[in-house]
Amino acid sequence: MSWAARSLAPAIRAVPRCCSCARPPPAKAPRRAYSTPPTFDDQVIQAAQKVLHDAQTNLEQGSVEAAKRNRELDGVRRALKDVEDGQELIASLHELAELEPDPDMRALALADVPSALSSLSATRSRLLSVLAPPPPTSSLSALVELKSGVGGSESSLFAAELLRMYQRVAARRGWAASVVEAVGVDGMGTGDAYKEALLEVSGEGAFGYLRREAGVHRVQRVPATESKGRVHTSTVSIIVLPSESGGQQSQVDDSDLYDLKDVKVETMRSRGAGGQHVNRTESAIRLTHVPTGITVSMQDSRSQHENRAKAFRVLRARLLDRALQAEVDARRSLRRTQVRGADRSEKIRTYNFPQGRLTDHRIPMTVSALEEAMEGGEVLDVINRELEEREERERVEDILAGLGP
């Protein structure tokens, strides 16, 4: 902050004065209102004020829980104060630039406005982060499940291409990606087509990023087997689960997710070609969580112990995802966002190869950068950021609607 902003803003905040002569402005000088229509930033401030007001109201009732909640909101309180101070500083600079008779001082005040606006933007972002923080699992690694849908072999081919796309995204962002389990298509080369595949992406924030890829991905293109050049439509469904690989830990204990006595463990022989080992060793594992009916099969490794460990990791991830989704649904059951944002069967994206277009239907947003997207390029980051901003708006709307934390 420059000398003008530091020295003039406090004086103006107390009594509007002209800095060069310390005299009050002319009595009849009108003060212009620098108001704008309500924006998302305004909604964030309103939500913060609502949360603090509700906490103060509950505190007056004298409960221990209300006192604890009030202490937890110290970060919101400080961030809101910084935002209000920043807004007041900008209003003071505008007022000084309008009322100060000295042209040099007016120029100094106007020169301070850009940096003051930048600082205000940063404090608003901090207010949003403490007011409506992202889910605690956002920092975890991820398990990406891909399943071919309508479209036969073309769907399986596209599933393999999407898997490679996420592997490239992981490499670009510094995450490690490995295929945990895959079911190929008879007659096609390994890795060319998948009926089902499970990709583990290990790294800080992988789940927070990739969870926005969950849903139905639709591809429109001319299959290699199409002799008449007609465009076919196929789909691939994707589910993204939080994973605790690489030593990461969530705040949810295993005992909160399942009881070991509720998990049915079965061993079996691995499927497919593989010679004597496949025929004689029961290394494949199938877990069934009886209360929910969730089933996990794992046969990727020749070691039954390794398959068992992988299967339990996937089971835990699915149960954790189920618990998180139930919490979101319960909190938003009175709002349309339950359908708009949570439905995993919803078509979220279309890949139109003839026109080279990628369309995300949730924002909505269309970009002519399909090839870059399939290479795991930064255009996916742009889409992800737009989706993140949409989620931020929804979290603030939840608070304003009285459904937030």
**CA dist., res. 30 & res. 188, Å (int):** 78
Q: If pLDDT is split at 50, 70 and 90, which confidence band does 82 have?
A: very high
Q: Give residue-wise pLDDT tens across range 112-136.
A: 999 999 999 899 989 988 888 877 7
Question: Looking at per-residue confidence, does 171 or 401 come out higher?
Answer: 171
Q: Give the residue-averaged pLDDT of 211-229.
A: 88
Phi, psi of 28 (to 5 degrees): -90, 5
pLDDT beyond 70 at 15: no
| pLDDT given for residue 247 in this prediction | 55
Q: Give residue-wise pLDDT tens across range 316-328.
A: 888 888 877 776 6
Q: Give residue-wise pLDDT tens across range 308-318.
A: 888 888 888 88
Please state which of the ranges 50-54, 163-167, 400-404 shows the lowest mean pLDDT.
400-404
| pLDDT given for residue 142 in this prediction | 93
Question: Looking at per-residue confidence, does 226 or 91 come out higher?
Answer: 91
Q: Give the residue-averaged pLDDT of 77-87.
A: 93
Q: Give the residue-averaged pLDDT of 85-93.
A: 93
Q: Give the residue-averaged pLDDT of 158-164.
A: 96
Residue from 144, 178, 175 nearest 162 by CA: 144
Question: Looking at per-residue confidence, does 368 or 257 come out higher?
Answer: 368
| pLDDT given for residue 160 in this prediction | 95
Please state which of the ranges 21-35, 93-107, 235-249 shows the lowest mean pLDDT.
21-35
User: Which CATH fold topology does 136-400 show?
Assistant: Alpha-Beta Plaits (3.30.70)
| pLDDT given for residue 190 in this prediction | 63
pLDDT beyond 50 at 256: yes
Percent of the chain with pLDDT over 90: 38
Q: Which residues have C-beta within 8 Å of that of residue 293, sequence separation ≥ 6?
A: none
Q: If pLDDT is split at 50, 70 and 90, which confidence band does 41 have?
A: confident
Task: Name the pairing type of β-strands 347-352 and 357-360.
Answer: antiparallel
**CA dist., res. 353 & res. 222, Å (int):** 8
**CA dist., res. 153 & res. 155, Å (int):** 5
Q: In what order do the strands lie in the sheet with 357-360?
A: 176-184, 194-202, 141-148, 232-243, 215-221, 347-352, 357-360, 365-367
Q: Give the residue-averaged pLDDT of 16-33.
A: 43
| pLDDT given for residue 202 in this prediction | 95
| pLDDT given for residue 346 in this prediction | 66
Instruction: Tell me the pTM.
Output: 0.69
